Amino acid sequence: MKNKTNIIIAILIPLAVGAVSAYISRGGMDAYAMVRQPPLSPPNIIFPIVWTILYTLMGISSYIIYASDSPNKDNALKWYGIQLTLNFFWSIIFFRFMLFLAAFIWLIALIVCICIMIYKFFNIKPIAGYLNIPYLLWCIFAAYLNFGVYILNR
């Protein structure tokens, strides 16, 4: 039962981070709907669906690392926490404050941290690293969208 509780908590942590960040950012969502979008911008309904999946995968991967016997798990989980913190603030910077260039730079830092986290997770349990590849790819796509919004709306 303890393992089930731990994995549920591990999944709920990134989901809660995403939910709180979205709640804080919600005021800017209406204004964001008025900005020019770059090509390939998906419909708004796609974002909560994708993020829910990605946060769930993040939570599962963090649990795999947490449950491992690796002496490196604390360092790997530190990078998990760093990238989750950066993730939390990105949407606030982008949507709430509409600081598109600052958000893009922040997102590049997030992508670097995700790469480090994936590397550290992969060295402990490869599956934990692989589970974060969709997250990395989505953030790279988000960087394209973020930069496009910056260019089109400056």
Q: What is the pLDDT of residue 1?
A: 64
Q: For the chain, how far is it from start to end, CA to CA, in angstroms?
A: 53
Total tally of structural domains belonging to the chain: 1
Q: Are 56 and 11 in contact (CB under 8 A)?
A: yes
Full domain range(s) for residue 16 = 2-152
Cα gap 32→130, rounded to integer Å? 32
pTM of this structure: 0.95
Burial class of 149 by CB neighbour count within 10 A (0 to 12, 13 to 18, 19+): buried
Token pair of 123, please?
Answer: 């060295």
Question: What's the average pLDDT block by block, 10 residues per block, for the chain (154 residues)?
Answer: 88 98 86 90 94 98 98 98 98 96 98 98 98 98 98 95
Cα gap 13→8, rounded to integer Å? 9
CATH number at residue 51: 1.20.1260.100
